[in-house]
Structure formats: C-alpha cells, structure tokens
Structure 1
C-alpha cells in the first residue's frame, strides 16, 4: 500500500534524528556507557555465582539505549522491578500482536473481538501511552520554564517533535513503534546467539578467541572493533538466519491485484513475508538446521536487504529504519559478554537438555528464557571440545 505523507514524514524524522551515521556517531558514548553498566551487572552476578537472564539483561541495555535517544532518560536499571515490568510489557505486546486472529479471516466478525485480542493489546498500549504522556507533560513544563534555548547537542527526538508542533497522539504512536521494535528485537537476538553457542563449545571457543585476540586483556570492546571480528559477524548472521527477530517482518498490503509466480494476491490483501521459512529453505541452505557460522565466512552475503535469502530487516523502501543501530548494538553486546566471561548453564543443565523451543509472536522469543552463569575467564581456556 502506498505510504501516506505523514508516514513518510515520520520515517524521515526517525532516520535523520536517530539513525543517520552522523547521529549514531554522536550517541556512541551513550551506548558504551550502557554496555559498561551491563558488564558491571554481569560482573556482580559472577561474584555471587548467580545466573543471568540473558534476554532481560540485554533488554535493559537496549531499552536505555533507545529511550535515551528518545527522551534523554533511563527507563530501568538491571536490578529494578521496572526493568522486569517493561520487559514483560514488550513480550506481551509481541505475543498478542502476533497471535492468529479469526477476524483476519472473517473481517465481519472483527467487532466482536471473540478472542479478546483487542482488549489485551489495548491494555498494554494504554499502559505505555500513560508513561509516554507523563514524559511529554514533564518535558513541556520544563521547556516553558527555560530561560534560554537548549543546547543543540542535548536535543533529543522528543524536543525535535515538540519544536515541530507534532500532535501528541502521533508522538505516542511513534514512540510505541520505536519502543517495541528497537528493544526486544536486539535482546532476543543476543539471547538466541548465546543459546546456540553454549551447547557448542568449539564454536564458543572460536568466537571468544577471536574477540580476545583482537581486543586483548586490558581494554573493553568498542563498536569499531566489530569490523575486525569476522567470525563474530558470522555468528550474528547465522543467528538471524535461524532465529530472525521478526519472523514475518511487518505486514504489507497489496495496492492492486497481482500475480506472483502461480499465486494470485488480491488488492488490499495483507501480505506477510516469512523470513523464518526462507532462512530454513533447503533449496538455499545446506545443513539448514545446524548452527554453522562458518557458512558466512568468505561469502559476500549480508543482512542489509540486498541478499534475499537473508533479510531479517526486510528490504527495499520499507526496510527497517533502525537497522544501522541494531547492527551496532547486537554485535557490541554479544562481543562484550563473550570477551569478559566464560559461561555455563545453571543448575547443572547439560547442553543436550537446553530448551530451544520458540514462542510464537511478532517477535521470536525463546519459549523458556536462557539463564547462564558468568565465570571469570581463565588465562587459558578450559572449555572442553564438542561432545
């Protein structure tokens, strides 16, 4: 469906204010600060011998990275109840919005809300809208009391939208999209990568040795290091092949009747692109159910929308505008976790028993969260070979 002028304008604003290379460079120190906070939390868990919920820990970092860009505030800390609440909200939003709905097949029944989907999603959205409204109100009062213009370097997306006179309802819907799309997608990718690596010690050793050789012992991982870590990049690609964060991307709508190969798609039909199935297509991938980052080494295939066998962010005009931020955040988080610590499964769980079931929804969560115990890295790796 042709996008409306307002959609085009909002997309342009998010790209220019959040995702352009210049803007990402300006916010690099913020991302490094949030990763440092994550590593402090993991270090404290290591000292106590406690397991880390990988998805929740990564979510808090992603949440604060994204929402600092929107509002210049932290939403949660790693040991706060609020962090769990926000994670549960986004997880619920993904599950409900991805739930099969009978009204999609029989639109005339939509007003009945037979499955309670509309009621569930409204409760989640209303809760987030109240949070956003409070932030908008606070910022508006703050701006009224200012005696001099705000420094350009401190202007965030909310300031920009208020300067443009953007409707508050439009702002809240935009923030909802950015909140949902820019936080949980990153954290589930980190979780799936860790879940794939933990049962495969040889691959874990390989990526850790690469990271530790490039980074060394006495400094932290930087975003600029990722280009020197080809195996880490391959791990991220292979994770996105097997576990794309948005398995059906976002819905599209046909603007006219069209025939694609032997399939007729009528005008106004909702179209879902099943990138989960594409990533497991036996006509494209060898050993398709195996986690093999090596398949991407030496191959000119990327996730940026030009190689259609691997399009976790979509492609073309509707490609995810947040892709540049995701491709900085996910490798940085994963490399930081693997550089500073070795990891083991909690409570004596053996790799063969690690649950890899998926939870259905608009975002591909693990059915059961991955909890792993960080261990201070030894001078010489003691991880055993593949079983």
Structure 2
C-alpha cells in the first residue's frame, strides 16, 4: 500500500498525543537510529520477510495499530486481505509475526522450538512477576529454575493425586451453589444462573484451595457463592489478564513507558495492588509459621514452595519468587475452563440435540445415583469433544503468548529476524477453512475417533490451541483438562439447561474487544438428580 503524506497528516491529527511523544523520542535517538539503518538496510541486501504492510520509519505500523483497535481484529483482517497465513508487522522496532497456519505453526514450535523458546519483555509482565517466575521469564537460568519447580514440585502426577480431594471439594461446592440458585426466583423466573460468574468462581475457588488451602479470603456465603473479597479478587485477576501482551504502545517504544499514553501501566499497578492485598498477608504468615516450627505438614502449593531447599539447605525460593509464581499460577488457571464451558453451553442450548447426547453419555457412564468423579473422565469422550470444540471455535484469547526468536532463522521460506515476536493465532488456527469443514459451526462430533479411542483436549498438530506446547508449553495440561471436563460433566449431568423464558435463542455474538461472549450467559437450571447429591 502506497502511503502518502496526506495519510500521515491525518494520522497525526487523530493521534496527536501519541505522535508528539513519538516525535520527541525520534529527535533524541535519531543519530543512533540513523547509523543502525545505514548499516542494516543501506549496505546489506534486504532479506525476504513474511508479507506485511509497509512500515513508517521509526514507528513502523504503530499508527495503523492505534487507529484500528482492538489490535487482534486488525491483524486478522489484514492477513485475510493479504491472503496470507504468516505476516510481518513492524511495531516500533519489533517485528511481530502472526501465524494462522498449523503447518507453519508446527515449524515454529516443533522444528525450531529451541530457537523460539524465549518471551518478549512487556510493561505488564514486568510488573506482574519481574520475570522471576516461569510463564513470562525470557529464556535463561531463572526460567529453567522456575519451570523445573512447577513441573516437578507442583504439577507432577504425584502432586495431582495428592490434591485430588481439594479439587473434588470445589466440584461439590459448584453443584451446591448452582442447586441453591435453582431455588431462587428472579423476575418471576426460578433457577437463573450466571454461567460466567459461576464457572469463574469455581476455577478461582479451586486454585485458591490448591495454593492457599482456603476457598474464601473472607467469610464467603452460606449458599456456596463468593463473598465480596472473592468477587474483587476474581475481577482483578481477569482485569490483569486483559492487559497481558495487550499491544501497549510502550512495549514497542520503551522510551514512552513513563508517559503511559494508553493508561495500561496505571491499571496494571492498581490491579496488582488489589490482588496482593489478599495474597501477601497469607504468604507472610505462612512463612513465619514454617520458620517458627508451628507448621510441619505440607497441605498446599504454598507449603511446597516455602519448604523447597537448595543444595545448601537454604530456601530455594525468595519471597519475590513465591509471590510472582502464585499470581502467574492464578491467572493461568481461572480463564480457559470457565470460558470454554460458557461458550459450549450457549452453543448447546441453541442445539439441544448436542446437550441431550452429552446427557445420555453421562447417564450411561455415571448413572443418576452419584456425581461425576475424576475417574470417569476417560470414558466421557463426547463431553471431552464438546470441550475440545469450544477450545477450537471459541478460544479464551486471540493469540498465545509471544515466542521470541533467539537468533535469525528461516521458517516457511521466510526470514525471521532475531528478537521477532511470533504470535500463533488461537482464533484463526481453530477456524482455518483449509483445515476445518464448516469452521464456524459448533460440531463436537468432528473430534470423535472412529475407533472410539480416547479424546484429548490437546492437539499436537496445532490445528487448534487449547494449551500451549513446546519448551514454553503449558505444564498444567493435566490440571487444566481435569478442571475443564469436570465443569462440563458436573453441570451437564447435574442440571437441565435452557434459555430464559423471554429468550428464544442464546445470542452468540462475540465481544467487540475480546473473544468472550458479548454478554455473560444467563441460563435456567433445573436439578435432575436426587436432592441429597447436591448437599455438601
């Protein structure tokens, strides 16, 4: 596309505060950057980058990014217009490489996995963890240390078994809570359940129980629901998630971070303050209990992290590392299972035959005299297919966290420069029409295997992204799968679901800003099992 001076003037007029800061930064750094461009562009032949829009000097495609929020929709629209499944978009001095093709994605995360095992630095991730925990740390010794602890000490098969009863407690509490909602009457309708709220609080209750051995920070509620403290905590976790790798302008022009032009830094700081208000006192008191010999038995992940010792029998983790890892574990757990069930139930209410098929499978495997248990999961292939289809069609985020190139590399016949940020599109991988028949239709049966073998939520071929893979892959696949399937199985087995009386069909519109349902799903629940099964 041929950019004209008139187009540039229109961008400057619309985004004057941004351009004023950008121009200031340009004046300060012009000499250094001029040398850089002469050395790297004038004297050397330009390598073949993936296709993309022509960048402006210095700022790259930041003007277009700022003019087309939300950024993920602009990127996907741009790629479709260019008819490409890999692109190169320069934001500031960073090359951002979005990918929507499973074959190319596999090249990045399988063939060249070692090269793309680092993470990009960003304002939000720096504030959240200071790169002292596992998820956001760049490749290096700190990341290796924390990943080993998560994999071997927190999420090992033995630890998964050890924490079984805590997970079951929260699955039971979810049933108790929804059963109590069935008794309530709102606007003349009984059994109205806000699915987004119920499932998010189940996920957050579970991870609080696993980390802190408590469901509530405050007194909670008699009906099994969240108290004010838990509501604030969960809302804060999801607010934090909105700002992780959220295309903040300061992530691409770091000299502008102090100006906080888009307000993201202020929001992240305030949100972290609310979260730490609940976490810090528990962590500090628990450390004191271990140091004073008042606690000697490990009951949760916090106890495990405090008890870890290095080769010299000193604490293996600092207070900073423990606090950072707790927040990362929280935000990695609360969103994916809850979002998958909300979308799936909305789709299944609109296609009642799908809901009925899931119910029939559950009744066949479990019966109606007991609740679903984790031991039933291997036999619930259709329920897992429903969850997998939700991950495919309605992922929790447009992209997985970026993978950063640690050296110049050639992928898919394109040159990928060192420090490029590769972003695999969860959304477009799962909806790629070259891969999926009727990609926008919710069809769980597409995931069932003809030989009846086990359905899993992961996909090594990267035709969908349920959990990230490779060296930076999610170590919590077993926990995430268990949580997801238990939400689906417990709620579909325990209740009949329908749209509210005044709604003929659930609105499946997607939010303008993210990949959530535009409006939280509210559905009518009715118990279908014996009353005593719902009580704690």
TM-score, normalised on structure 1? 0.90
Gaps of 5+ in 2: 1-117, 119-137, 185-189, 310-314, 531-536
In structure 1, distance between residues paired with 2:202 and 2:459: 26
1:70 pairs with 203, 211, 231, which one? Answer: 211
Give the conservation status (yes or no) of the 8 Å contact 1:305–1:314: no
Task: Name the residue aligned to 1:4.
Answer: 140
CA contact (8 A) 1:359 1:366 kept: no
Aligned to 1:115: 262
Alpha-carbon distance in 2 for matches of 1:86, 1:31: 19
Q: Which residue of 2 aligns with 1:51?
A: 192
After superposing the two structures, state which structure 1 stretch, 255-264 or 280-289, moved more: 255-264
Q: Which of 520, 531, 536 is the aligned partner of 1:369?
A: 520
1:198 counterpart = 2:349: yes
- 3-state SS of paired residue (1:372): strand
For residues 320-344 of structure 1, give each alpha carbon's deviation from its aligned partner in whole angstroms, at most 9, with x where no partner exists. Answer: 1111101111111111101111012
Aligned residue among 147, 152, 166 for 1:30: 166
Q: Does residue 1:39 correspond to 2:175, yes or no?
A: yes
Decide which structure has greater helix share: 1
CA RMSD, 1 decimal:
2.2
Task: List, as ranges, runs of 4+ consecutive aligned residues in structure 1 with deviation greater than 6 Å.
Answer: none
> Counterpart of 1:158?
302
1:135-182 per-residue CA deviation (whole Å, 9 max, x = no partner) reads 1111123234435x613xx34222232233221112111111101111
**Alpha-carbon deviation of 1:355?**
3.8
Q: 1:308 to 1:302 in 2, by over 3 A?
A: farther
Contact 2:398 2:427 in 1 (8 A): yes
Establish whether residue 348 from structure 1 lines up as the match of residue 502 from structure 2.
yes
Report if aligned partners of 2:200, 2:334 keep a CA contact under 8 Å in 1.
yes
Q: CA deviation at 1:360?
A: 3.7
Structure 2 residue aligned with 1:241, among 379, 392, 408? 392
Q: What is the CA distance between 1:203 and its match in structure 2?
A: 0.6
Aligned residues: 373
After superposition, residues 74-85 of structure 1 pair within 5 angstroms as: 74-75=215-216, 77=220, 78-85=225-232
- What residue in structure 2 maps to residue 357 of structure 1? 510
1-structure distance, mates of 2:232, 2:264: 20
Tell me the distance in 2 between the aligned counterparts of 1:315 and 1:117: 28
Q: Normalised by the size of structure 2, how large is the TM-score?
A: 0.66
Distance 1:79 1:119, change over 3 A: closer
Measure, in 2, the Cα distance between the counterparts of 1:368 and 1:19. 34
Q: Where does residue 95 of structure 1 map in the other structure? A: 242
Match of 2:155 in 1: 19
- Aligned partner of residue 348 in structure 1, secondary structure: coil
Aligned residue in 1 for 2:326: 175
Task: Give how far 1:110 is off.
Answer: 3.2
| Deviation per residue, 1:211-243 (Å, 9 max, x gap) | 112111110001111211111111011010011
Is 1:220–2:374 an aligned residue pair?
no
Question: 1:328 aligned to 469, 482, 485, which one?
Answer: 482
